[in-house]
Amino acid sequence: MQEITPAEVEALEGAVILDVREPHELEKARIEGALHIPLGDLVARVDEVPRDTTVYTLCHVGGRSAQATAYLESIGVDAVNISGGILAWYREGLPLTLAGSE
């Protein structure tokens, strides 16, 4: 499974980020423009995932997004796990919308 750091994916022009965290997690912190499909809904909603580009998966620390990446790869989607999840994204000081900052 391929992995990428938050800084590397944030530097990519037009990267498609798939956030597989739960809705209550998105209320705390989210990346603007990310596609949100909770991991438990991914199989049912997989048609919402683009097939014509690389999809970068994200969760809280990287475990659920690794599962999502493995599943997407198994069905032919070019998917890459974002190592460290949104926690690493935050620690690296990358753009993020936090609860109460809207």
φ/ψ (deg, to 5) at 70? -60, -45
Instruction: Judge whether 32 counts as a catalytic residue.
Output: no
Catalytic residue among 16, 59, 77, 80: 59
φ/ψ (deg, to 5) at 34? -75, 150
φ/ψ (deg, to 5) at 78? -80, 100
List, in sequence order, every residue forming a beta bridge with 16; answer none if it has no partner.
55
Q: Which residues are known catalytic residues?
A: 59
